[in-house]
Structure 1
Amino acid sequence: MKKIVILILTGFYGCSPAIRSYYDFDKEDNVRKYITYAWGTEDLKEVKSNPLYYSELNDKRIRAAANDLLRVKGYILTDQDPDLTLHYHIVIEERSMLSPDPYGYMYGDYFMRPRSNIFTYREGTLIFDLMNTKHKSLVWRGWAVAAMEVVLYDTKDTDVLIRSAVSKIFQNLPERGVDKDSTVTLN
């Protein structure tokens, strides 16, 4: 059943724009040993800095997608004494892309002035941090980056983008359980 759910969730990839995902983790702390997690409190400074993206609707979408994927990975959402605290951040940056003059081929553009086209777009980054609740240390971080222009104005596209980004981020999170390299001794 788990594999079917993962297959369905990863099916969102085909419906989404190009999303690049990355991750980093503490090599001295095995994330597989943790069982429960809870959501951390919001940083009001972040929320106020960009209200277009930090909305209650996007918060619900992001949390629902993350909860679904973490449940599939074996992690349990709890309110009491969690092992991990989950935070997310949204970073939106203006980017520019230079497109050189398409004319001229081999001998240059004799009758036309050379020109360069500069395109500006927004690039969004969604970051998830899993923190050790007891020690307040970062255990695992995953993030996804995508161009935002196309999906901002249609809620259906926003849902697909968020689900796809969260799915791509958490595909790199190991499933909860015993590490493959560890040994178990029975008495």
Structure 2
Amino acid sequence: MRLPSRIAPLLVGLMLAACSGIEVNTNYDPSAVQQLESYRTYAWLPTPEGKDPRVYNDLINNNLHQAVDRVLQGRGYRQVAMDASPDFVIGWQGAIDSKLDAQTVNSYYGYGWGTMWSPYYGGGVGVPYTYVREYEEGTLILDIVDAKAKQLVWRGTAQAVVDENPTAQSSRERINEAVEEMLERFPPQPEQ
């Protein structure tokens, strides 16, 4: 067995592990930027109900609330009850979807004989191998809604590969990381 065919699975695994970070995006209403900067109080919308118990359960909900509260309160926002007229309300949604990833690894390595000008310069031909991996990707969406106008003014999304057997600790850490990265972009800065 040639060396490349023995190390190809390892290389594919390393490439996939390097891609296992959290991808964060945000979107907002540009006309509401000044309004967003004036917000000081918030409340939570009722806990969403969903069909996937891996996403919609008390543990995830509590971890998410704690992470968001810690970040917002660390920046001077204050949580109030819904009947206390908050400036904005926060809601969340989540999903876990099955995905496929195909990686093709070429088994060619090394150089041919000769010089750049000879017909044998270059390399040999190898047979590429394609590895297909099925994995689950989790998506978390945080919505910030203007409480008076009842309009969505900011949305953050985070997507990451879901661990096959997550521990309570790793689940909390991933939620914290996703929330911190999303809220790092809240409130948005005015466009120049």
In 2, Cα distance between equivalents of 1:64 and 1:149: 21
Check the 8 A contact 2:106/2:128 in 1, yes or no: no
In 1, Cα distance between equivalents of 2:59 and 2:70: 17
Greater C-alpha radius of gyration: 2
Match of 2:144 in 1: 130
In 1, Cα distance between equivalents of 2:139 and 2:175: 11
Query: Given residue 142 of structure 1, which amino acid in structure 2 is its aligned partner?
Result: G
Asked if residue 19 in structure 1 is aligned to residue 22 in structure 2, the reply is yes
TM-score (norm 1): 0.75
Match of 2:48 in 1: 43
1:162 corresponds, among 163, 175, 189, to: 175
Deviations 1:116-135 (A, max 9, x none): 21111111111110001111
In 1, Cα distance between equivalents of 2:94 and 2:172: 15
1:86 offset after TM fit, Å?
0.3
Which contiguous aligned blocks of 4+ residues in structure 1 show a shift greater than 3 angstroms? Answer: none
Asked if residue 84 in structure 1 is aligned to residue 88 in structure 2, the reply is yes
Match of 2:125 in 1: 108
1:70 offset after TM fit, Å?
0.6
Match of 1:98 in 2: 102
Match of 1:121 in 2: 135
In 1, Cα distance between equivalents of 2:55 and 2:125: 44
Deviations 1:137-156 (A, max 9, x none): 01111111111125x42111
SS in 2 for 1:51: coil
Match of 2:13 in 1: none
Question: Number of residues paired by the alignment?
Answer: 155
Check the 8 A contact 2:138/2:161 in 1, yes or no: yes
Query: Given residue 169 of structure 2, which amino acid in structure 1 is its aligned partner?
Result: K
Match of 1:65 in 2: 67
Match of 1:183 in 2: none
Unaligned runs of 5+ in 2: 1-19, 110-122
1:114 offset after TM fit, Å?
5.0
Query: Given residue 77 of structure 2, which amino acid in structure 1 is its aligned partner?
Result: Y
The alignment's C-alpha RMSD in Å is: 2.2
Query: Given residue 28 of structure 1, which amino acid in structure 2 is its aligned partner?
Result: S
